Amino acid sequence: MISRLARFAIASSIAIADRASKHWIETNVGAWDSHTVIPNVFNIINTQNRGAAFGVLAQSEGAARHFLLIGVAASVMIYVAVQLWRMPKGSWPATNWVAVALALLVGGAAGNLYDRIFRGSVTDFLQVFIGSYEWPSFNVADSAISVGAILLLLSLGRAPGRTVS
């Protein structure tokens, strides 16, 4: 089983990488500038998301939006962090994947929560295109949250006593 120290080191590393990458973008890429990395596939941009994932609530104004976004994100992050702390040593291999998944969720949530509290918006800078579809821009924290959620879902199918066919 991955130790508590290692679990929180993963979470901290994600939050630090997220903040460092956002700081670099904020200081080196102009607002709404677009730098093509792979034509028609991947760009580096600098956008500010005042809403939740995919811009939900971005157009809402006032303290209620701010309180909702920060309150919900902080509550969920604290709950997941407590679960990560309490994880017992497991005997099945998927336990390590659950620990990594929860660490990714905590680190990603911390990265975006920092932005919401201290900046009022989240810096997104990765822009991906799949054919003519443009995926909503995202960042390191969003990526960690997505990967963590996928790992968590995959690990649920591998629970002890359960066969996967």
What average pLDDT does the segment 60-80 reach?
Answer: 74
CA atoms within 13 A of residue 162's CA, in its CB half-sphere = 10
Token output for 97: 């994947």
DSSP secondary structure letter of residue 30: -
Decide if 92 contacts 86 (C-beta within 8 A): no
pLDDT tens for residues 81-125? 888 877 776 555 557 888 899 999 999 999 999 998 898 889 999
pLDDT computed for residue 56 by the predictor: 47
Query: Is 115 a catalytic site residue?
Result: no
The residues, ordered by sequence, that sit 6+ positions from 73 with a Cβ below 8 Å of its Cβ are 109, 112, 113, 116
Q: What is the pTM of this model?
A: 0.81
Give 42 or 50, the one with higher predicted confidence. 42
146 pLDDT band, cuts 50/70/90, is: very high
Give percent above pLDDT 70 in the chain: 79
Tell me the angle at which helices 4-28 and 94-118 cross, rounded to the nearest 10 degrees.
40
Q: Per mean pLDDT, which of 14-28, 37-51, 131-145, 148-162 is the most reliable? A: 14-28
- Catalytic (active site) residue 142: yes
Which one of 18, 33, 115, 142 is the catalytic residue? 142
> Position 19: which residue type?
R
Burial 47-82 (b: 16+ CB within 10 A, else e): bbbbebeeeebeeeeeeebbeebeeebeeebeebbe
Mean residue pLDDT of the chain comes to 83
- Please choose, from the candidates 31, 96, 119, 38, the residue with its C-alpha nearest in 3D space to the C-alpha of residue 111: 119
